Structure 1
Amino acid sequence: MPILREYQQLQEQSKSLREQLISFENREDFKRESAFFNRLKMLMADYNESALDVIKLVNTEKSVSESPAIRKKRMIKVYRNPYEREIVETRGGNHKTLRAWKDQYGAEVVDSWLVEEK
């Protein structure tokens, strides 16, 4: 008997899903979207283009690409300590000597020692 009850439940679910499908098919927004999608697929087939090709063509931003984005290298910053005449070149703020200077003299003072950016 449990198998028969499970079968009946599946039939009820199937009937409910069919009704939901029919209600979707009668909606105007679904009809419009479905027609657009079908025409788009036909155009893609006529011109032998893939979905990725269409996305690249339509998307003017560089957010969609086949290769991962490459990070731009940070600029080299050159700091010159006016007291010791020592020069530090670094791409980031985690340089050992630069960190020591910032601890000793303060970050604002050391930032004012920036000579150039390469």
Structure 2
Amino acid sequence: MSRLAEFRKLEQTLAAQLAELEAMKGSSELQKEIEFETKLRDLLAKYGFSLRDVINLLDPQANRRAAAPVAAEKTPRRARQMRRYKNPHNGEVIETKGGNHKLLKEWKAQYGADKVESWLA
């Protein structure tokens, strides 16, 4: 796309968004919400409260629900165990912590996954 075409496309998008913004400014619903927010913030300032205080008054458990997932993410994962496979056909030994080992994949393709898992030493 040429720079001029890209410019005109962005210009049209901007004009559409400005028209939508003007339509919203005239909306009575938006005016009511703005008025409510203004009065609420004035009331909170008058009594020295914050929005967080109001949320804690209305829903004391909200803070605990928001903090719980963060704590769950910080728990470390359990380390994988070293697994040792011994091929009975040629005596080769593989030590791996995961299933993404090249030779292990070849063995599973050749002999079958169930058979290879039985070779755990």
> What is the TM-score of this pair, normalised by structure 1?
0.46
Q: Which has the higher helix share?
A: 2
Which of structures 1 and 2 has the larger relative contact order (alpha carbons within 8 angstroms, sep 6+)? 1
> What is the TM-score of this pair, normalised by structure 2?
0.45
